[in-house]
Amino acid sequence: ETGVTQTPRHLVMGMTNKKSLKCEQHLGHNAMYWYKQSAKKPLELMFVYSLEERVENNSVPSRFSPECPNSSHLFLHLHTLQPEDSALYLCASSQGAGGNYGYTFGSGTRLTVV
Amino acid sequence: AQSVTQLGSHVSVSEGALVLLRCNYSSSVPPYLFWYVQYPNQGLQLLLKYTTGATLVKGINGFEAEFKKSETSFHLTKPSAHMSDAAEYFCAVSEAGTGNQFYFGTGTSLTVIP
């Protein structure tokens, strides 16, 4: 148990489907993040929420839509994905948004787009 | 711009041998430096971090790392490898005052040979 819980652990979806990834933390952290982990590539930061406010990341396609209803929950809504979006999606949280705080990661959702 | 380079995408050591995983970074300001470990089908777990103070940092599972400013390095070491150390290791850097942005290396896969 890492303190950050992600569901589902595995997800297979068609390109026309709509699905959502869920992340939950009860560590009292006030910043939450979505990362994409693809084979042989550095982790890619997708979205950041600090005190429930979103930090825009313009490089993420609009088919990925985050939602942070409160400081404990973070969602990633998916629609009309492409096969190249298949990856491990990691959620993380931190005590603050400052760069000296380490992250606590969830176990990830393994997404396969068919 | 910051960057992180991990030399050697795959490292193999014998059980009981020294583990050395290399990390070099580029940063225009004093960095915060981190090592994370990822076991199969899991998220990333913080091993250790350097923010300020003593440059030799001790982490969990017997690992330690030394911040060498002159060499822009933060290599991870462990005196004696254990089979359970087999995993993927990621070096990460953030800069003071930049808030949420972490930069991760591409990772080093550690194999421990019995």
Token pair, residue B19, equals 């583990």
Task: Decide if A106 touches B, using CB distance below 8 A.
Answer: yes
Residues of A in contact with B106 (CB under 8 A): 40-42
CB contact under 8 A, A99 and B4: no
Nearest CA to B4 among B72, B97, B76? Answer: B72
pLDDT tier for residue A100 given thresholds of 50, 70 and 90: confident
CA dist A75 to A29, A90, B43, B75, Å?
Answer: 16, 11, 17, 35
> Which pLDDT score, from 0 to 100, does residue B30 have?
75
Contact at 8 Å (CB) between A93 and A70?
no
Task: Name which of B99, B103, B106 is nearest A98 (Cβ-Cβ).
Answer: B99
Nearest CA to A102 among B86, B43, B28, B84? Answer: B43
Residues of B in contact with A31 (CB under 8 A): 100
Peptide bond preceding B114: is omega within 30 degrees of 0, i.e. cis? no
pLDDT tens-digit map of B16-73: 999 999 999 987 777 889 999 999 888 899 999 998 889 999 999 999 999 999 999 9
**Whether residue A110 has pLDDT greater than 90:** yes
Token pair, residue B88, equals 């993927």
